[in-house]
Structure 1
């Protein structure tokens, strides 16, 4: 019966995800920028990264790096000339910005777009930095580029859904739960095949929780021993209410509520009330899985710009 209910809930969530696809970024493309570049300061490179992230966000793309698809820039100052102007000459640089999306594992270029800008300054570095400042993050050129890129990425996930599920199951069998969940969390929720992903993701998450909850219980007990009740609650709230630690979690919560005043006990009740319905629980699980993915990828070795642009 439980499996039937969860299956129905998965279908509901998929439908909700499809309706919300315009509001939520369900395609992830990591942004990678050079650490250093001739004629550009660290501040200018940071500004360039910020501009690219703004372009991605404005067009429904999440920008934490998962190592599958990467968006990166190349800059070429193809025409630099000196213009005499009063006491000090001005340098004018015509600069081409090329944005490209590639699939990291294969090096396959998914898409690219080229836009030219002109900047000026008292030296070449200032001129190129000025050109970068003129990048219009709301330009329809970038909207078209990322729309085409997303369409091709959707095709990748459609064609490789079965392989991705097999890989996730294999990782889970080796108890590499975070890696398995991270792979599945990046699957676009607006695709019909996401309906096949959710049940696998939920199953792996349940197994992950059953392993993790024992550690959370011990950490909570440690906080209780120190009378750090808010810390104990923060550990317990991470325990899935259908994990094998749920009974112990409930007992610890009862102990905590006996040690705090009425107002704080009521606040604890509200904190756990998010699980009043199974639909809320499923939403909470998907949100937790996405957080696991972000944490997992942030702990992976950084993809260097030189690995991509060779």
Structure 2
């Protein structure tokens, strides 16, 4: 009979199986003020190549003035409105296209459709095509210009003001989502509160731990059902796949250990092949609440990356169609 291997590994985090390459580092964006640089489709008349230049410029404006430019929460955005003041063909050989543009930047709350801050700049560009003329004009935007510091600072103040004044609404909204078993979205809402909004941030962290526990226990029921069904079909490897997702913070952990022992004893009695299963344990030196908050962040970021796109497909007609 081949030796049955049962090993124990130390649990240093509660993260579920996520695509680490795609979300690596993005958990740091939660809990900090950042702006999503967006050129909405409703911002018509801007050549596609110029759109990429605009996104780059807006990201630079944010980072040059102390804010993140890739927001985990795209609710707060920096967006442009480009107005073509004039366009002409130059009397040169070869003839070139010259454009004079008026560019207004807005910091907005896309969910509530409110403008927090705005600033305006005029730029000119010349190129062989209209697209190249636009790109040249936008390239001339000086992201270090003094006007952008006040623009970003005012937007930042408004975002902080939102969380300070609407904290109860944020918390109740998260609780309502959890009540609908939308745990990932609830965690995303709570863990997006900036740490500079200290009182609201602390309340959000406390509530995120409670909602993470609800999420963990909900998933535990799912994993145990899968493990039992797999073992009923004598599929030990599939059972191990489910049991391996169960962590010591989950209410059904004791049941999972009992099922593991049952499978182990049965396989030993039957002289089965090697079953290399790893059961998880806590490292007692790590604070459990901190581990749960980190796990919640990874769940929230995974939800934002994989499942939240429809939620953030904002309607921009309020900003563009009336201009």
Instruction: Give the alignment's TM-score, normalised by structure 1.
Output: 0.71
1:79 is matched with 86
Give the counterpart of 2:253 among 235, 246, 259: 246
Q: Does 1:120 align with 2:130?
A: no
| Alpha-carbon distance in 2 for matches of 1:42, 1:184 | 35
Q: Which has the higher contact order (CA 8 A, sep 6+)?
A: 2
Instruction: State the shift of 1:190 in Å.
Output: 2.3
Task: State the 1:120 CA deviation.
Answer: 0.9
What's 1:300 paired with?
311
Aligned residues of 2:110 and 2:314 also touching (Cα < 8 A): no
Q: Render the CA deviation track for 1:170-225: whole Å, top value 9, x for unaligned.
A: 33233332332222122112222111221111111111111122334556786994
Q: Which protein shows a greater Rg?
A: 2
Q: Is the 8 A contact 2:81 2:105 kept in 1?
A: yes
2:275 to 233, 250, 259: 259
Structure 2 residue aligned with 1:19: none
Q: Which has the higher helix share?
A: 1
1:277 is aligned to 286
Q: Aligned partners of 2:37 and 2:195: how far apart in 1?
A: 21
List alignment gaps of at least 5 residues for structure 2.
1-27, 265-273
Query: How has the CA–CA distance of structure 1 residues 24 and 177 changed in structure 2, closer, same or farther, with 3 Å as cutoff?
Result: closer
How big is each residue's C-alpha offset from its partner over 1:142-188, in whole Å with a ceiling of 9 and x where there is no partner? 34322221111101110111222122223323333233222212211
- Determine if contact 1:83/1:91 at 8 Å carries over to the other structure: yes
1:155 alignment partner, SS class:
helix
Q: What is the count of residue pairs matched by the alignment?
A: 277
Other structure's SS at 2:81 match: strand
2:241 aligned to 195, 218, 232, which one? 232
Contact in 1 for aligned 2:160/2:196 (Cα 8 Å):
no
* Shift, 1:50, TM fit: 3.6
- Contact 1:27–1:61, Cα closer than 8 Å, also in 2: yes
Mean CA deviation greater in 153-162 or 44-53: 44-53
1:56-205 matches, cutoff 5 A: 56-58=62-64, 59-61=66-68, 63-64=70-71, 66=73, 68-85=75-92, 87-137=93-143, 139-193=145-199, 194-205=201-212
Q: Deviations over 1:36-88 (max 9, x none)?
A: 76654323323322432344355323544756433211112213333322x21
Moved >6 Å (runs of 4+): 22-25, 251-256, 271-275
1:198-213 equivalent positions in 2, closer than 5 A = 198-213=205-220
CA offsets 1:98-156 (integer angstroms, 9 cap, x no match): 11122234422110122222211123332112222344455554343222211111011
Distance in 1 between residues matched to 2:91 and 2:31, nearest whole Å: 48
Q: Is the 8 A contact 1:79 1:95 kept in 2?
A: yes
Shift of 1:97: 2.0
Q: CA contact under 8 A between 2:191 and 2:205: conserved in structure 1?
A: no
Q: 1:77–1:128: 8 Å Cα contact kept in structure 2?
A: no
